[in-house]
Amino acid sequence: MKNGLSNPALLALSTPQGQQALANVSKVQSKAIDLGFSILKIGLLCLGGYLVYRKITNAFKKRGQNNQYQPANISVGLAKIRAENLYKAMFGVANDFNAIMQNLSGLNYNGYNRVFNEFGERRGADFKKQNLTEWLYDQCSATQLAQLKFMTNNAIT
């Protein structure tokens, strides 16, 4: 046998108590890893549920036809074209108010609702999703909005 210091960890592992302690440490580590995976699974499920909830609650809500007014005086196809033209007229720093007026002129209340539905929600230069009414409030002055509201029989609310 050598004289001097020996490795105390090796001495401890060579005893039955040391081997038992090592087995207990392995069990604790295994349980800690299992707990970590369980927490990760719960976190992912919560995140998935939250994303589904946001998708449902933040979904675009179409306007239906209001029976107190005349039926829409524009087809779905023409409403889609006007919605596209309105987006082009409002996208960017300034708006083209004449183009906005031109595309909203002649629409009755339900006609505006049809264009509103075809416009949907679109992102602007600030990456914020907005529907047609929100775009108009964002892009037009109070005077311009008053003109547009008068033209559309107060469909812009």
Which tens digits make up the pLDDT trace of 88-119? Answer: 999 877 789 999 999 999 999 999 999 999 99
- In this structure, what token pair is assigned to residue 110? 């339900």
Please report the pLDDT score of residue 115 as a whole number: 96
**Residue 140 DSSP SS3:** coil
Please report the pLDDT score of residue 2 as a whole number: 57
Please report the pLDDT score of residue 23 as a whole number: 75
| DSSP-derived secondary structure letter, 123 | E
Helix axes 76-90, 109-119, angle to 10 degrees: 70
Q: Is the pLDDT reported for residue 149 higher than 60?
A: yes
- In this structure, what token pair is assigned to residue 152? 């559309």
Q: Is the pLDDT reported for residue 155 higher than 60?
A: yes
Percent of the chain with pLDDT over 90: 42
Distances (CA, A) of 106 to 17, 62, 114, 147: 92, 21, 13, 13
Q: Is the pLDDT reported for residue 51 higher than 80?
A: no
Helix axes 142-151, 132-139, angle to 10 degrees: 140
Express each pLDDT in 118-139 by its tens digit: 999 998 777 888 999 999 998 8
Please report the pLDDT score of residue 3 as a whole number: 59
Please report the pLDDT score of residue 145 as a whole number: 93
The pTM (predicted TM-score) of the whole model is 0.64
- In this structure, what token pair is assigned to residue 120? 């949907």
Do 156 and 133 contact (CB within 8 A), yes or no?
A: yes
Express each pLDDT in 4-47 by its tens digit: 556 766 666 677 777 777 777 778 788 888 888 888 888 888 88
